[in-house]
Structure 1
Amino acid sequence: MADLTQDPGFWMERAAGASAGAALSLVYMLPRGMREAAARFATGLIAGVIFGGPAGVWLAQRLGVTAALSPSEVMLTGAASVSVTAWWGLGLIERLARRWGREKG
């Protein structure tokens, strides 16, 4: 079973990385309204907090920089990358559904 540590820094690193990823995504793909922005930000934040650690480790190993990064840097990088990916994925799905979901006639 996973050890969900009670260290507040552990959770702050994940939340900071996920928030940074979601904020960075605003630059590249603007939401169409407040509702879409809130949904995509929440999705990015939740996904970054949950999957940030494993994604950071995977990225560091794939890039060969594991020895050069601290655990905090790995966590921040992973959370931000997952958040950006979730933001883009949800935005893409929403726009495709909007385009293909229209009734013809």
Structure 2
Amino acid sequence: MQQMPDAALEWAVKGAGAVAGSAISLAYILPRGRREAALRFFVGVACGLVFGGTVGVKLADELGVGALLGANETMLTGAAVASLCAWWGLGLTLRFFQAEIGKKED
């Protein structure tokens, strides 16, 4: 059986973590509509892919488990956490501004 190249495996692991984090964010706080769900999902995936490695290393270092985790586990965890946290920053800001705009229209 042929193995995946390291770069392809890294992208697959980051992608799986990013999708998992986005799915959790959708389930944790239900979106108000399809547009918000799509926006949250794609922003989460993008952030998980971009920041997954860095977040995984920082998280493993902070928790003191870096020596216990493999590179793929660190990447998967980091991508999921980055993806999940992306919504909290974006979503809360978006809802704040929507509330402020609603106040001005009244």
User: What TM-score comes out, normalization by structure 2 length?
Assistant: 0.89
Kindly provide the CA deviation profile for residues 47-101 of structure 1, in whole angstroms up to 9, marking residues without a partner as x. Answer: 0000000100000000000010000000000000000000122211111011112
Q: Secondary structure at the match of 2:95?
A: helix
Aligned partners of 2:11 and 2:50: how far apart in 1? 10
User: Which residue of structure 1 lines up, in the alignment, with residue 65 of structure 2?
Assistant: 65
User: Which residue of structure 1 lines up, in the alignment, with residue 45 of structure 2?
Assistant: 45
User: Which residue of structure 2 lines up, in the alignment, with residue 94 of structure 1?
Assistant: 94
Q: How many residues align?
A: 101
Aligned partners of 1:16 and 1:6: how far apart in 2? 15
Q: State the identity %.
A: 50
Q: Secondary structure at the match of 1:68?
A: coil
Kindly provide the CA deviation profile for residues 14-36 of structure 1, in whole angstroms up to 9, marking residues without a partner as x. Answer: 11000000101122111101111
Aligned partners of 1:101 and 1:91: how far apart in 2? 15
Q: Is the 8 A contact 2:26 2:41 kept in 1?
A: no
Moved beyond 4 Å, runs of 4+: none
Unaligned runs of at least 5 residues, structure 2: none
CA RMSD of aligned residues (A): 1.5
User: Which residue of structure 1 lines up, in the alignment, with residue 9 of structure 2?
Assistant: 9
